[in-house]
Structure 1
Amino acid sequence: MNKTVLFVALLSATSARADDALPRYDVAALCTAASGALGNSAFARSACQDQEQESYDRLKQRWAGLPDEVRSTCQKVSSWTGPGSYFVLGACVDVELEARSRAATSFRY
């Protein structure tokens, strides 16, 4: 019985940590599609990959400390691009955190 409890506890801990992990997006597919829209521009592909890498590196440092609701909402938003985008994910996180920091005010007539 103790082995079963330990197994379930370890499985739960592993699942929780997986949820905290930064999502994995197919940056190559995203940037190929983006550059294809511009006539397969090598510059566009390279710029896209650089932008995605910078966004990923920034998110990697702060992802685990973000509120669950922000991570969930922004993962959905970032997937609207198809394969997902770290740039879109990071922009969403910034906007969501900014909105949370502002005091809620009533609409004024």
Structure 2
Amino acid sequence: MFRPAGLALILLTTSAAWGGELPRYNIEATCRAAPTLAGTTGNTDQNCIRDETQARSQLGQQWSGFDARRRNECVQEASLAGTPSYVALLTCLQM
């Protein structure tokens, strides 16, 4: 079941997708919420931020080329875990 804040986030990002705008996600919050792999060390957060930033840049270039219905579906899917991800959104759109 969705919490009110989660529902509001989905509604805001979904309306942006239908409106033709790339959703705005908090990359730092996404990376803080990302699970770390067992045994990994080093700069996992920096790698996550780099990956999310690169995915956002790529989405910015390709966003208008994706079908609006598909964008909406993928925005919802990328937001299901509560912390939306540009990497998840890009992956969904490319599938």
Please say whether Structure 1 and Structure 2 have the same fold, judged by a TM-score greater than 0.5: yes
Q: 1:63: which partner in 2? A: 63
Counterparts of 2:76 and 2:42, CA distance in 1: 29
Q: Which runs of 5+ in 2 are unaligned?
A: 1-14
Q: Percent identity?
A: 31
Q: CA RMSD in A?
A: 2.3
More helix by share: 1
Q: 2:47: which partner in 1? A: 47
Structure 2 contact 74–93 (Cα < 8 Å) conserved: yes
Q: How many residues align?
A: 77
TM-score between the two structures when normalised by the length of structure 2: 0.71
Q: 2:21: which partner in 1? A: 21
Structure 1 residue ranges (4+ consecutive) displaced by more than 3 angstroms after TM superposition: none
Larger Rg over CA atoms: 1
Higher RCO structure, 1 or 2 (CA under 8 Å, sep 6+)? 2
Q: Which runs of 5+ in 1 are unaligned?
A: 1-14, 96-109
Letter in 2 for 1:63: W
Letter in 1 for 2:22: L
